[in-house]
Chain A
Amino acid sequence: MNPESIIFYNLFIYLVGFVLLLSLNNSVLKQLSGWISIIISVLGIIFSSSLQVPSTENFSVSYNWLHLGDTRINFKILIDNQTYFMYILVQIIAFFVKLFSTKYLEHDDGINRYFAFLNLFVFSMLGLVLAGNLLQLYLFWELVGFCSYLLIGFWYTKKSANSAAIKAFLINRMGDAFLMVGIFLLFLIYGNLDFDAFLPENLDKTAFGFPFLTSEGLQTLAVLMVFGGVAAKSAQLPLQIWLPDAMEGPTPASALIHAATMVVAGVFLLGRISPIITPDAGLVIALIGGLTSVLAATSAVFQYDIKKVLAYSTISQLGFMVAGMGMGAVGASFFHLATHAFFKAGLFLCAGAVINYMHHEQDMRKMGNLILKLPVIFYAYLICAASLIGLPFTSGFLSKDSLLNAAVAFGTKDRITSIKILVPVMMGITSFLTSFYMIRQLVMVFFQRQESPVDKIISSTKRTFDGAIKSFQDILNADNESLGEEKVINFVRNLGVFDVSVLGLSICSTWFLFSSNPFSFEEVWFLEVFQSEDIHFSWIPIAVGLLFIVALLISYNTTYEELRRYYLGEFKTGNQRKLYRLMKNHLYIDQFYKTIFSAFIKSRDSSNMPLSASVSNENLEASKFEITSYFQRVETNIVDRLILKITSLVLSLSEYSSKIDDKIVDGLVLKISFGLKNLGDKIRKSQSGQVQLYVLGMVVLILCIVFIKIIIF
């Protein structure tokens, strides 16, 4: 089969899956919908694996989509390395997520709806990576956002889920508005929207409308506008606030959409336009990426919700990738995207399994000891977490190393005092924080502790390292127990759907999928297809390792200390508490937006505000100063009143005229008619029947007529 038809069938089965599953209403068939969509995924993977890996030449095919005058925009499929990797990646992760979901949502009434949305999402995501021009990408870009909206709000009777869904969509809409302006600008300067037409020689130097900008400045502006869209989709400053809330959706959906695939669409787009990212724009992007990663990692340290930690971690890692794209390290950034997709999806699925086990309790402080109860999940979690931290033998080690390498190269290229140095510094801090919060989570969720009574907690937290050793001993013991042959068989037999999908993803998070040498990213086949930096700083992995050890020591202690305080009911006070709250609430950025947003739409009904849920109905009367009600008042008080004034003016005028009509015109007519009547009466009197009089009258009349005729003519 030629690539076109492979892609066509591949996309088509997902679309069929969407329509088919959505139209199911038989409860037996509904239960099967998970397996139906797994079959679809398997078929999809088979289809896409028969697609040839493009080596040097990109495959592209275009269909006539629309043309207006001279503007032609084609529907174009573009397959280069970037597309190909994403194409496969999305489907593999979707497969694991679907497998996981069959159990996670087995008792849910809307399971067919859920899988239908998942299929629609995979369809749109594949469309996005295949898009050969910006408009087409924008189309699928919004569609994946739409799927994300549907899946976040999947439990539509839950109010918080609805608010999160609407928030995600609206913030992405704002980003899309920027992206749209970016598209207009790029069309203005390149005269085309195809990705392969964004070349320096197509640059139209005569682009008009921006008197203060040079052509390079205009390009920077265009790229930054596109980055506005990226910032929303990939949750970068200042539009990152939707992602933590998006965790209201079903956990496997979060794994697929809000960790592994959709949120990296922004990074993907940056990679697509990387040839035209100007140095200025690149610097801004890299700085924003770095700053986001630090901020989000800091917030992750202070979260108690197991999914929120992972959400902030995702934002932070996305910041890494975005910074990488800004530095021009397309290959490294893309490599990190791929590895991150596996280990973060794995982490999310582990979290999902934990949440499922804990009966939807997401507070990590109420967990603990799960190491014995969910051993397989724990191992998988351990591998994925190691990969996120960037320990050797994992894929994360390789990608993070390559990314940090590029960052250091970028930061030290110019003088050491240039602002560029901030990027590697921020990324280093993030690496440290990443280790910190992952260990914290590991301890809180899985490690042993005796929670009650309180004094035992104190005693256990006192011997912190004993606890660690004991935990690891437990792992070893658990391992030993299952080493017998029967035990292994039993172990495999007892593996649930959860375990299989989580293990699958954690295996994908190890090094051998990407490189033969676990210690050097230079042998990664992945990077060979992208151009990469020649400089290699060998001290980076060592530095990361040291940071990890420091983080391990501190985090382990503080986490037990934190838990102890929690069980004792001690709270922080004063400035410490303020700082703590500031971090936990992500610098109150969210609240800031809420305040602005509620300025716009509090007026209609405060109870169901999408962004702020806690405003009561009583505020309805007090909300007279919001902008919409202002507009409404303009409408009723000015526009409509003006019309009313005019109308009443016309009415009073017409009243006058009617009076005039009555008194004067009609009066005149009446006078005349009365006059005529009187005349008639007089004439009647004159008609006495005397013929002579008649004749006389006629003669007088004729004379009169003759006289008049003579006078006039």
Chain B
Amino acid sequence: MQSGLLSSLIILPLIASMVILLLPESYKGSYRWIALIVQILLLINLGTLISGFEANHTGYQFLEHFEWIRLTLGKTSILSIDYIVGIDGLSLSMVALSVVVFFIANISSFSINKKEKAYYSLFLLLTATVIGCFVAIDFFLFFIFFEFMLLPMYFLIGIWGGPNKAYASLKFIIYTLVGSVMILVVMIALAMSNVDEFFTSEYKRTVFSFDFRILSDQANLLKGSLLNIENPIKIFGVNARDFMFILLFIGFGIKLPMVPFHTWLPDAHVEAPTPISVVLAGILLKIGGYGLIRIAYGFFPDIAINYGLLISIMGLISILYGGFNALAQKDLKKLIAYSSISHMGFVLLGIGAFNIEGFNGAIFQMFSHGLLSSMLFLIAGVLYERTKNREINNFKGLAKTMPIFTVLVAIAFFGSLGLPSLSGFIGEFFTLFGSFQASTIPKVIPILGVLGIVLSAIYLLWTFQKMFFGEFWTKEEFKNNLTDLDQKEIIMLGVLGVLTLIFGIFPNILFDLINPTVIQLF
């Protein structure tokens, strides 16, 4: 299916970004609408994508393949880098999530009134790179998108952020770059060890490829190469394949974020403007999980299995550590940031299980967390926009003055704490379920993981009670600003709330998409 549909998902926002950049300042008012129209077009494209997607078809669909770089290395080999995009169930779910979240974040961006030209062109650039990251099936292409994402993100936090934005954006970029370097090392090692048999016979030279499909098939490993299986080569006393897997694990773990590589996240969130927080928590973290499943597990399945226990323990630590830290927070946004760490820990737990239930649960959890954390950050944004304050203790009894807001907050909070019939429950349940059914993992890990859902109930309910119940009270200067939601906010939170409810009640909508892909992984 060479429809160009996937490329359009990347190219449309890129073009729009250029257009906004070229439009003179006198068209200032139109930037947001151009961006919004592009997001709507993406939604329509996503619709066609989903309707054309055959869930039971294994392998990648909507493939687009163009030759890009053929680098001749000496006389005997060629390095082939191609532009290949395609999707399977895993990437489709992530693409769908990104398109929806970017749409919501775009609406939320309407409240940004500073340097709009730069903002919207960077925002659209971010859209293109994130979607590109999920659809790329060439490691080199993936890596370009992965790296390029940092540029808009850096500026979006660094220019439109809060008081401490310089520190936060720098911390963010340094952390992520360290991760990228590790991934880069693995990418080069992988490409230099895998041979594209088909082109090798065609060109009569060894063709090294970055194609995901080639990298994930161990039959393509070159004998005697760095990453061969039969004859392990040691790096610092560790088998090369193990070494590479750990590099990937840390690299994507930083992105996820996994304790102890998580400290960039609370800072970045607290400083970032609301729509960027939404994108960051809603989608960017998911790239970590996506990378772990697609790349770390996909290319090193033999190694990954041995590290199931390690991954699960790291997941458990993230769950509990994030939860306890969330309990201690006074700033609403920081609390949500730590709860994100805790919830992404479930993703790790599910991945560590290395079984179908666990992977499905992990992917579902990523999707659900994308919806719920977006909602939570929008909620923090609603308060911040009205009062320029996010201290939990500064608000009491909001239910009286903001009833609609309270209902939507209740959906988000109860969704996050895993109330059945909202999507958070399904993700958490099946990651724990998978972990429990896995033979490689001691039962004590999922049992302790269950504590995570108790913890999240404590910090979320407590916050809910403190901010929304009791007699209405807030600082004098905020009193007149605390009006109930406007239409824009109702749409944003309402859409996400309804999606949470739908996926919570009919989880099969998503499971049917990802299940064949996951089965194929094993």
CA distance A643 to B254 in the complex (A): 13
Known contacts A603-B328, A604-B329: A68-B515 contact under CB 8 Å: yes
A-B contact count (CB 8 A): 146
Q: Are B328 and A67 in contact (CB under 8 A)?
A: no
* A19 CB to nearest chain B CB (Å): 11
CA distance A156 to B420 in the complex (A): 23
Give the residues in chain B near A153, CB-CB below 8 Å: 465, 469
Give the residues in chain A near B118, CB-CB below 8 Å: none
Q: Tell me the B402-421 residues at the A interface (CB within 8 Å).
A: 407, 414, 419-421
Q: Are A166 and B462 in contact (CB under 8 A)?
A: yes
Give the residues in chain A near B432, CB-CB below 8 Å: 180, 184
* B470 CB to nearest chain A CB (Å): 6
* B439: nearest chain-A partner, CB-CB: A208
Give the residues in chain B near A165, CB-CB below 8 Å: 465
A159 interface residue per 8 A CB criterion:
yes
CA distance A589 to B324 in the complex (A): 25
* B430: nearest chain-A partner, CB-CB: A68
Interface size class, chain A: 35 or more
Give the residues in chain A near B518, CB-CB below 8 Å: 68-69
Give the residues in chain B near A464, CB-CB below 8 Å: none
A632 interface residue per 8 A CB criterion:
yes
* B402 CB to nearest chain A CB (Å): 13
Known contacts A67-B511, A628-B324, A631-B321: A209-B443 contact under CB 8 Å: yes
A526 interface residue per 8 A CB criterion:
no
Known contacts A139-B421, A162-B469: A180-B429 contact under CB 8 Å: yes
Q: Are A64 and B508 in contact (CB under 8 A)?
A: yes
Q: Tell me the B458-484 residues at the A interface (CB within 8 Å).
A: 458, 461-462, 465-466, 468-471
| Complex partner residue of B263 from A170, A184, A643, CB under 8 angstroms | A643
Known contacts A68-B511, A639-B263: A143-B399 contact under CB 8 Å: no
A70 interface residue per 8 A CB criterion:
yes
Interface string of A493-519 (1 = CB under 8 A from B): 000000000000000000000000000
Q: Are A632 and B461 in contact (CB under 8 A)?
A: no
Q: Tell me the B347-393 residues at the A interface (CB within 8 Å).
A: 355-357, 360-361, 392-393
Interface string of A205-220 (1 = CB under 8 A from B): 0001110000000000
A608 interface residue per 8 A CB criterion:
yes
Interface size class, chain B: 35 or more
B8 interface residue per 8 A CB criterion:
no
Which segment, of B106-114, B234-242, B444-452, B492-500, faces chain A? Answer: B444-452
* B399: nearest chain-A partner, CB-CB: A156
Q: Tell me the A209-256 residues at the B interface (CB within 8 Å).
A: 209-210
Q: Are A631 and B421 in contact (CB under 8 A)?
A: no
A451 interface residue per 8 A CB criterion:
no
* B471: nearest chain-A partner, CB-CB: A157
Q: Are B327 and A600 in contact (CB under 8 A)?
A: yes
| Complex partner residue of A177 from B328, B419, B443, B453, CB under 8 angstroms | B453
* B342 CB to nearest chain A CB (Å): 12
Give the residues in chain B near A70, CB-CB below 8 Å: 356
Give the residues in chain A near B260, CB-CB below 8 Å: 639
A66 interface residue per 8 A CB criterion:
yes
Give the residues in chain A near B451, CB-CB below 8 Å: 177
Give the residues in chain B near A210, CB-CB below 8 Å: 443
Q: Are B454 and A173 in contact (CB under 8 A)?
A: yes
Known contacts A146-B414, A177-B453, A180-B432: A162-B465 contact under CB 8 Å: yes
A138 interface residue per 8 A CB criterion:
yes
B205 interface residue per 8 A CB criterion:
no
CA distance A188 to B446 in the complex (A): 13
* B308 CB to nearest chain A CB (Å): 14
* B254 CB to nearest chain A CB (Å): 12
Interface string of A136-173 (1 = CB under 8 A from B): 00111011001000000100110100100110011001
B77 interface residue per 8 A CB criterion:
no
* A605: nearest chain-B partner, CB-CB: B393
Give the residues in chain A near B407, CB-CB below 8 Å: 22
| Complex partner residue of B400 from A146, A157, A647, CB under 8 angstroms | A157
Instruction: Add 11 more A-B contacts to A628-B327, A635-B263 (CB < 8 A).
Output: A67-B515, A69-B356, A142-B419, A156-B468, A157-B400, A177-B451, A184-B432, A184-B436, A600-B327, A631-B321, A639-B260
- A-side residues, CB < 8 A to B, are 22, 64-71, 135, 138-140, 142-143, 146, 153, 156-157, 159, 162, 165-166, 169-170, 173-174, 176-177, 180-181, 184, 187-188, 208-210, 600-601, 603-605, 608, 610, 627-629, 631-632, 635, 639-640, 643, 647
Q: Rank and list the top 10 A-B pairs by shortest CB-CB distance, nearest first.
A: A69-B356, A139-B420, A631-B324, A632-B328, A184-B436, A628-B328, A628-B327, A156-B469, A68-B360, A173-B457
A-B pairs with beta carbons under 8 Å apart, 24 shown: A65-B507, A65-B508, A66-B508, A68-B361, A69-B360, A142-B420, A153-B469, A166-B462, A170-B454, A170-B461, A177-B453, A180-B432, A600-B327, A601-B458, A601-B462, A603-B327, A604-B327, A604-B330, A604-B392, A605-B330, A605-B392, A629-B328, A632-B328, A639-B260
